[in-house]
Amino acid sequence: MLRRRVITSLAFVPVLLAAVWLGNPWLSIVVALAALLGTFEFYRLSSLAGWQPFTFFGTLFVLLFILNAHSGDVRTTPFLISGVVILSLIRLLWCADKERAFTNWAWTMAAIFYIGWTMSHFVLLRGLEDGRSWVLVVLLVTFASDTCAFFVGRAWGRKRMLPAISPGKTWEGVIGGIIGAMIALAILHPILGLDKIGYGGLIILGFLISVFAQLGDLAGSMLKRTAGVKEAGKLMPGHGGLLDRLDSLIFTVVLVYYYVVWIVG
């Protein structure tokens, strides 16, 4: 298992880092492709749970959110959100299964916002000043948190956190993830030239990234448990599906984007 995880990471990570380094349009393409595959996996989970989301409609709007972020014109975002809500409710009128129509609509909307809206923040973050460095912070610090939480929990984990949702997650692993995120951010701080954030902010941000990453992982586990599966897919050997890797990142990228916009400035 561990060997496959490492091999898969060595295959995917260089492509991801290259896209971040080069910026647009390459980053937008990679994000759109990841969002597309993640949406397919999400709707597969909903189908396994017995629901019938509007797959084409949802996938289209997931991609539109990425395209909207790529355009750089945030004034269109309220229009896009309004279109999602109104058009999806109009689509609901033609739902064959009237008794389950609202739940099918809810699953459709969930993918649009859970994947499309959140992942569009990768493109938005990259477009900010020092955006390349901040996207790298999201990726590398989240990976560090996940990795440390995994190994610490595996070696010393005793106290189960939420066994009904994620049996393998322990409080010891949570602490290990937080410490790992703080150390990773402290190392990256001088390398990436994040001069606008002091050491106090560094500690706070590292803590928040780890907490949000682990909450994202738990949310993803809850979705999989609802569908009665252990993994969202088989795309990434040793990791599961793409959604199994995105569940942490989509929480942390939103956190870091608004942290940079509202606090760092």
Based on the domain organization, do 29 and 78 belong to the same domain? yes
* pLDDT value at 35 more than 80: yes
CB 28 within 8 A of CB 123: yes
The answer on 35 and 73 residing in a single domain is yes
User: What is the distance between the alpha carbons of residues 176 and 187, in angstroms, rounded to a whole number?
Assistant: 17
Mean per-residue pLDDT for 121-149?
Answer: 95
Q: Are residues 154 and 241 in the same domain?
A: yes
Q: Report the C-alpha gap between 21 and 28 in whole angstroms.
A: 12
Residue 85 and residue 151 share a domain: no
CA distances from 255 to 5, 45, 78, 262 (A): 26, 26, 20, 11
pLDDT of residue 233: 63
pLDDT higher at 126 or 166: 126
Q: Which of 109, 126, 143 is the last residue of a domain?
A: 126
Q: Give the pLDDT score at 8.
A: 59
Output DSSP code: residue 236.
B
d(CA 131, CA 177): 24
As for how many domains the chain has, the answer is: 2
Look at residue 101 and tell me whether its pLDDT is greater than 70. Answer: yes
Do 51 and 164 belong together in one domain?
no
In tens, the pLDDT along 43-83 reads: 998 888 888 899 999 999 999 999 999 998 878 999 999 99
Domain of residue 74 covers 25-126
pLDDT, the chain, mean: 88
Measured torsion, CA atoms of residues 173, 264, 125, 78, in degrees rounded to the nearest 10: 110
Residues 149 and 263 in one domain: yes
Tens of pLDDT, residue by residue over 217-243, are: 999 988 888 887 777 666 655 556 788
Q: Does the pLDDT value for residue 265 go beyond 80?
A: no
Cα 19 from chain centroid (whole Å): 17
pLDDT the model gives residue 118: 97
Looking at the structure, tell me whether residues 13 and 134 fall in a common domain.
yes
What spatial distance separates the first Cα and last Cα of the chain, rounded to whole Å? 42
Residue with tokens 């064959």: 96
The identity of residue 83, as a single letter, is G
Instruction: DSSP for 108-147, please give it.
Output: HHHHIIIIIIHHHHHHHHHTSTTHHHHHHHHHHHHHHHHH
pTM for the model? 0.91
State mean pLDDT over 91-115.
89
* Residues contacting residue 147 through CB under 8 Å, at least 6 positions apart: 180
Q: State which of 126, 144, 159 marks the end of a domain.
A: 126
Q: Are residues 207 and 265 in the same domain?
A: yes
Q: Are residues 162 and 117 in the same domain?
A: no
Q: Is 206 a residue whose pLDDT tops 80?
A: yes
151 in the same domain as 264: yes
Tokens of 247: 């569940």
Beta-ladder partners of 162: 166
Q: CA nearest 53: which of 120, 122, 103, 114? A: 103
pLDDT band at 22 (very low <50, low <70, confident <90, very high): very high
Percentage of the chain surpassing pLDDT 70? 92
The token duo for 256 is 């870091």
Whole-Å CA distances, 19 to 84, 124, 179, 192, 196: 29, 14, 28, 17, 24
When pLDDT is averaged across residues 132-158 and rounded to a whole number, the result is 93
Residues 35 and 80 in one domain: yes
Q: Does residue 208 share a domain with residue 150?
A: yes
pLDDT of amino acid 255 = 97
Give the pLDDT confidence score for residue 237 in this predicted structure: 53
pLDDT digits (tens, 9 = 90+) for 158-190: 888 888 888 888 999 999 999 999 999 999 988
Mean pLDDT along residues 20-33: 94
Residue finishing a domain among 126, 160, 176:
126
